[in-house]
Every structure is written in C-alpha cells, then in structure tokens.
Amino acid sequence: MEFHPLPQPDEIAEREKEDAMGAYLMMFAAVAVGLPLPIINLIAAIVYYYVNRKKSRFIHFHCLQSLLSQIPTTLINWVVVIWAVRIFLTDLTLNETFWAAVVFAGASTFLYFIVSIIAAYKARQGKMYYFLFFGKIAYEVAYRVKPEDENPSEPINKPPF
Amino acid sequence: MRSSTLRDLLILLAIGAVLFAGGYFLVRQIGKSDIDLSYEVSIKQEEQLGDLFKDMIENKYTTIKDNKADSALQQITQRLIKALDSTKYRYEFTLLRSEEINAFTIPGANIYVFSGLMQLAETPEEVAAVLAHEIGHAEKRHVVSKMMKELSITAIVSVLSGGDPSVLTQVLKEIIGTSFDRKQEEEADVFALELLEKAGIAPKSLGRFFERLNEKDLDYNKNLEILMTHPHNDKRIEQSRRYKTKNDFKPVPFDMDWKKVQESL
C-alpha cells in the first residue's frame, strides 16, 4: 500500500491549518448546543467532513479523525441518556452499574475533550496528531494512493485548441 | 487491518474497561460511605434519641391503648418479632389516632401506626406487611442513615445532650416528613417479604396493600411518605407477587375478627 507524502508545516497554507483546527473546535460548540442529547456534535462533524474533505489531504485527515473519534463517546453518552430516560419512565432501579456508566461516560468525554484540544492546537501548527486507532484509520483513508490518483480520469474542461 | 491498528484498538478497549471498572469502584465506595454513616450513632444513642421523640409524638397524637385494635396490633407484631432471627433492638409498636394512612419508624425501633392505615387494610396480613417493611427500615438502620444525611452529627449530639427543643422538633420533622431513598425502600421491601414468609404470612400481602393504595388513588406523598418515595409502585407490586416462597410454605391466618377490630377504632 502506497501513501502520499506528508506535507510539512511550512508547506501548508494558513487557511488549511485553520480548517483542520476547525474540525475539532466545531465539536465543542456542537456538544454545547446538543446537550442533553449528544447527537448534534456527530451530525455537525459529518457535515463538516463532507464540506471540507476535498480541500486537501491534511484537512481530510483531521476532519475524518475528528468524526471517527466522536462515534464511541457519542454512543456511550446515548446509552446513558436512554438508560436514564428508561429509569425515569419505567421505574427501573438507579443501580451501581448505571452510576458507573455515568462516571464512565463523563470520564471518556473528558478524555476525548483533552485529546481534541491537543489535536486542534497541533492542526493549527500544521502538524499531524494521531489519536489511538482512529488516527491510523484516518491516515489510511486520507493519504493512501488510490488508483484514480495515478490514472487521473479524462478532464471534463478542456482548452479550446 | 494492520497489526499496529489492531493493537491500538485493543489499547483503546483496555482504557475503556479500566475507566468503567474505575467508575464502578468509585460508585461502590460512595455507596459504602453512605451506609457507614449510620454507624456513627450507636444503638444506645439511637434508643436515647427514640425516647426523646416518643414523648413528643405521644404529646402530639392520641395513643390508642387497651382496646381491640391495640391488642390486634400487638398480636400481629409479636408474630413478626418472633420470626426475626436476631435483633439488637427492643421493638415497641404504638397505635395513634389519626385518619392519615401512615406508619413510621423513629430511632430505637419505635414504630408508630396510624388508625387510618388499620382502617384501609382489608386484612391483618396487610398491616403485618407494612409493619414488616418498617421493621426492615429499623433493622437496616435506614432511619439513622437518613438522619445522618439530612442533619449534621453536631445536631444529633446536641439533641442527645438534652439540647435545644427546636433542634429536636426539626430532627423529628426530618424523620417523619422526609422519604427514604429508593434503594432503602427496596431493601426494606425485600426484608419484609422474607420476614413475612418466616412469620407464616403470605408475602403477597405487601403487594396487595400497595394495590389498595393505587385503587384508592391516594396521594402517596401526602399520605404515606414513609412507604412511597416514588409514584410508580408497579414494580414493587410485581416484586411482591413474584416472590417465591418455599414449597412447603403455608400461610397461617390471624385468629381475629378484622371487621370488629376496625369497628373498635
């Protein structure tokens, strides 16, 4: 498997760095808007990804890493919210496992926030920052050399002569 | 998937497992510290507190003594106390004249029953079920635990040292007026179901009493705070219905004319 070379910080335009940083920072605002239903952040990340992924591989990588890494925390938070609603509606017991899940969701989200802030800072500097697992997947998707990169398709717009 | 990516995934799952286990441990520790609060007050101190409150309650309400209803209550409670394997307390049950449908426990295992509750119950077994639940609160030291949560140890010491009567009134208000938490209610329910079986009383009686309250559409918070912390009692009724007694369990009915007992109130 071949990969495109990684751009160095001085080769990346300021605008690209800002867009890459935005992938992480946008999530904070979306989380605040989406509380107590932790879904808006994921929707916002998907939209941000599709709008920005074609701009450059550097932006593609950071957007995808931000999007993928939000999935587990969003799922965990959803499980806790649904569990809490069920307890409220059906008189289930507020047992130790539920409270452990609340602590777990809180701690995971906190950890995720911390690494996202670091990633946003690095992206602004034009640096790569790899999350565990999601960093490698995002790198593979964004930087792998695809067949269409080697054999570009026939251009649609052609000069008149 | 590359081996290093797979390794990352395993590390991530391990971090998740550690966080969850940590959360579980933390919650258990907090839970334990809640229970331990009750051990800051000894049984002797609890009995002292109970004596102080007894006077106040008996000044506020009229007690019903030496009549059919009182002897019925004593007959019911004797059966329950005999069925207790062991206890640190000397139980005392008192019948109070009031239309309120309530029963409550004060420190030192002093349990009070309002005549309104005896009127609502259709059988002595239902009264026994409510009392078994109250005994559960006493045995599990929920009353002291609740007191420790609501009030400071300083307030309790002040009461014990014969202090300010206003503090005493406040403490009593907390005991009678505030609910136990749901976990404590569940513990008392489980205790009651087991005690009823040991005493030869059908454990289903507890659920039947809850059902009667539902049928009457009573305002739980107003009328039976001690028993009801949550309006959804269906689970508690279901728990009582599903309680499995031993195969050879045969309920022994109380030898009393319940209608006449109620008429004497």
pLDDT the model gives residue B231: 43
Whether B40 has a pLDDT exceeding 80, the answer reads: no
H-helix segments, A57-95: 57-90
What is the CB-side half-sphere exposure of residue B30 using CA atoms within 13 A? 11
Substitution target in A76, A87, A91 with the highest count of B β-carbons within 10 Å is A91
pTM above 0.90, yes or no: no
- CA B146, CA B112: separation in Å to the nearest integer? 18
Closest to B189 measured CA to CA, from B178, B176, B205: B205
Q: How many residues does chain B have?
A: 265
Substitution target in B1, B3, B8, B181 with the highest count of A β-carbons within 10 Å is B8
pLDDT tens track for B178-221: 667 777 888 899 999 999 999 999 999 988 888 887 777 655 44
Residues of B in contact with A71 (CB under 8 A): none
φ/ψ (deg, to 5) at B111 = -110, 130
ipTM of the complex, rounded to two decimals: 0.78
- Secondary structure of residue B173 in the 3-state scheme: helix
Burial class (CB in 10 A: 0-12, 13-18, 19+), B119: middle
Residues near A67 by beta carbon (within 8 Å), at least 6 away in sequence = A23, A42, A45, A46, A48, A49
Sign of CA dihedral A141, A146, A149, A155: negative
Whether A160 has a pLDDT exceeding 90, the answer reads: no
Token output for B135: 């005994």
How near does any CA of chain B get to the CA of A93, in Å?
8
What is the mean predicted confidence (pLDDT) over B14-21? 90
- CA B185, CA B145: separation in Å to the nearest integer? 13
